[in-house]
Amino acid sequence: MARAYFDHAASARLLPEARDAWLAATDLVGNPTGLHASARRVKALLEDARESIATDLGAHPTEVVFTSSASQADSIAVLGGSGLRPDRTAVAISAAEHPGVASITKALGPDRVRELPVQPDAGLDLAAAAALIDTDVAVVSVHWVNGEVGTIQPIDAVAAMAHRAGALVHSDAVQAMAWPGIDFAASGLDLVTVAAHKIGGPVGIGALLARRELTLAASGLGAGQERGIVSGTPSAALAAAFAAALRVTTGWRRDLGDEPLWRMRRRILGALAGIERVRVNGPTDPALQVPGIVHLTIDGVRADDVLFLLDNAGVDASTGASCRAGMHQPSDVVLAMTGSLADASSSIRLSFGWETTDAEVDRLIAVLPGAIERARAASAT
């Protein structure tokens, strides 16, 4: 029997349209920097993909810089952005940030990184942020949607706050591509990170959206492709697959809206309604929550036990950010939200998308209550 996949926020299933685009492009030969006809054909495919991605993300094609991953784009944005303000010594990031951004403390040193506190629902504490973002801050980086809890951050307020202080503002927006969607031109952001595999594209390609007026330093040495920022031959096949996945996702958001996702969420929460000591984390206002992430704190269990039991029952889920998966450590996001090590060790994430089937939801709600009961019994021994 097919498994039920509820780790969409870590990596979505490869969409058929993305697979078809990638396979068709792999038949082409040629380096897009070449001058002969075959190379020009590959170049055209690459630039068509760039234009398609730009259209769906509200950007200009020249603002789309292809990278190998979201983590690479994050590093370029935060480190490169801070390099554009050499007179400023600090960067400011959300305390519940994705590891792709949070790990910059290793490069900059913790004394140069200011953590902006979050509230118990994982939303940014704007009053505290205002006190920390001053003229010594070069870059402010706050994710658009929290990847563990699904909280939509007040990006417009963050951008305005950063710009008032003369800082650049970046957002890791990989979880916002599906819902609520990204309009780079309207966002007020200077730099935005996206990745294909979060929306059913292939692993191995991301992009940094960078305002045209910014001249970021090169990331590494080489021939200076991708606006002189990322060297190396870009993959037209991966770019075409990324563009195809984004077109499908944009169509779903436009034609289906978020009601199918809320319906799945209601079914999942309904299965938990009779279980004591299970808390649903995130904002109570639906306008501040993406529907495709359900984050639970389950008192009296070890999160790994629940995930093990779900896994044995054919259900894939996770404790949170994929870059932490397999490391068996408490969630940094939950620690930032509540300060409770017990909460951080007993929280799981269920994430899904438009392509999730009713049969998968049926499987989840059939096995989740029993998995919680057995995990509690194991923790009590």
CB burial readout 169-205, b (16+ within 10 A) else e: bbbbbbbbbbbebbebeebebbbbbbbbbbbbbbebb
Q: Is 170 a catalytic residue?
A: no
Question: What secondary structure letter does DSSP report for 76?
Answer: I
**Angle at the Cα of 255 (from 253 to 259), degrees rounded to 5?**
65
Give whole-number Cα distances, 250 to 199, 206, 263, 331, in Å.
10, 17, 19, 31
Helix (H, G, I), strand (E, B) or coil at 141: strand
> How many Å is the Cα radius of gyration of the chain?
21
Torsion of CA 264, 265, 267, 268, to 10 degrees: 120
Residue among 109, 108, 167, 101 at smallest CA distance from 139:
167
235 and 241 Cβ atoms separated by less than 8 Å: no
Residue among 44, 45, 51, 40 at smallest CA distance from 21:
45
Structure-token match 């606006």, residue found? 227
Point out the catalytic residue in the list 14, 218, 272, 323: 323
Helix (H, G, I), strand (E, B) or coil at 299: coil
Active site residues: 323
